[in-house]
Amino acid sequence: MQTQIVEFIRNLYQNEGIIALHEPRFAGNEKAYLNECIDSTFVSSVGKFVDRFETEFARTVGAKYAVATVNGTAALHIALLLGGVARGDEVITQPLTFIATANAISYCGADPVFLDVDRDTMGLSPDALKRFLEEHCTFEGGCCLNRTSGKIIRACVPMHTFGHPCRIDEIQALCNAWNIVLVEDAAESLGSYYKEKHTGTFGRLGAFSFNGNKIITSGGGGVIVTDDETLAKRAKHMTTTAKIPHPWEYAHDEVAYNYRLPNLNAALLCAQLEQLEGFLENKRDLAEAYRRFFAGLSIRFAAEPPHGRSNYWLNAIVLENLEQRDAFLEYTNANGVMTRPIWKLMNHLPMFENCRCGDLSNALFLSERVVNIPSSVRP
């Protein structure tokens, strides 16, 4: 069976060499814009590409404002700070995510609380969230208080795993009812919709990433989106060292961050964004080919949920158990087809092992069985 899978993937990519998990594709105006940017000498934090990218990105996802950052982790960090997350708070998220989600919460001095995911979407489960809030929390002084820890649950950060939209409207309703700020980690879900609305635009703030392995890339990069003008202005201020605009003077009015996306990276990103529609179609065709192939082998392929549209950033299959998973990883990687296991659960990592958790049966089930398979856009 493994041989058959490797052959199928080689055939999909028409490639006898090493097949990457997800490589970027630069087939548009990348070089032209980069040259233009270099010639302009505006390669750093000021320039027309970074402004242009923000405008075009906001339009693409249907948000009012977008603020570009050096990476997705920085975007999440600032989004959480602007959501009011402070030292001593708790922030609910899922244990099945990339480390950046939990790190960003820690940067604010807050503790992550890990709740279970749904088996189909692999994103935060509104059922688990509801159960946790009802069993452990009270609404006091306009805040959600975790009775067990005595701490305030300030924010909730669901993540749209591999681009599959989680049940974000139910999560949003729970957050509204408990006055918990919803910050979406949409790092993986550019081009993914819940019903007709783009992921990342349900929360008060959303964060995207343009790391080298994401659906579009600026080498490193990220963006914060919001519909709130005050928050957007704060985001720009906080990511640009809180510098007060002035023709020649250096004046800063608070301790802030040097998180602005350089214009050079934005030049690359403007060219990438122009190709997004084509990438999405290309990836949808690939996912459909995988879906049909794995159905024939009776292996579960992670397809988009009925409530939304996935960007199919990373394709994933769910194997029978840990042993079968490891055998598959061994075989495919030894044979030049890059595959990777889904992340270890955050609460199994040393720095988060003492964090509060709900029942994590689904997350544990998936963490032992899910494998990502090659998902690059095909030429």
Ligand X SMILES: *Cc1c(COP(=O)(O)O)cnc(C)c1O
> What residue ranges bind ligand X (CB under 6 A)?
71-73, 97-98, 100-101, 159, 185, 187-188, 209, 211, 222
Contact 149, 132 (CB under 8 A): no
Q: Which is nearer to ligand X, 58 or 124 (CB)?
A: 124
Nearer to ligand X, 146 or 347 (CB): 347
- As measured in angstroms, the least distance from the Cβ of 244 to ligand X is 28
**Nearest approach, Cβ of 69 to ligand X (angstroms)?**
9
Taking the least distance from each CB to ligand X, the nearer of 71 and 201 is 71
Q: Are 178 and 130 in contact (CB under 8 A)?
A: no
| CB 260 to ligand X: min, Å | 14
Decide whether 53 or 294 has the Cβ nearer to ligand X.
53
Task: Write down the least CB distance from residue 27 to ligand X, Å.
Answer: 22
Cβ proximity to ligand X: between 137 and 338 the closer is 338
Nearest to 175 by CA among 224, 209, 200, 139: 139
Q: Which is nearer to ligand X, 120 or 188 (CB)?
A: 188
> Contact, 51 vs 267, CB < 8 A?
no
CB count in 10 Å sphere of residue 149: 14
- Give least dist CB 97 to ligand X, A: 5
Q: Which residue's Cβ lies closest to ligand X?
A: 72
In the complex with ligand X, which residue's Cβ is closer, 202 or 294?
202
Closest to ligand X by CB, 100 vs 266, is 100
Find the shortest distance in angstroms from Cβ 103 to ligand X: 9
Contacts of 359 (CB under 8 A, 6+ apart): 116, 128
Q: How far is the CB of 22 from ligand X (least distance, A)?
A: 11
Among residues 216, 278, 263, 271, the alpha carbon closest in space to that of 28 is found at: 271
For residues 206 and 183, the answer to whether their CB atoms sit within 8 Å is: yes
Residue with tokens 């075009």: 56
Give Cα 372 to chain centroid, integer Å. 16
Task: Report, in Å, the least distance between residue 73 CB and ligand X.
Answer: 3
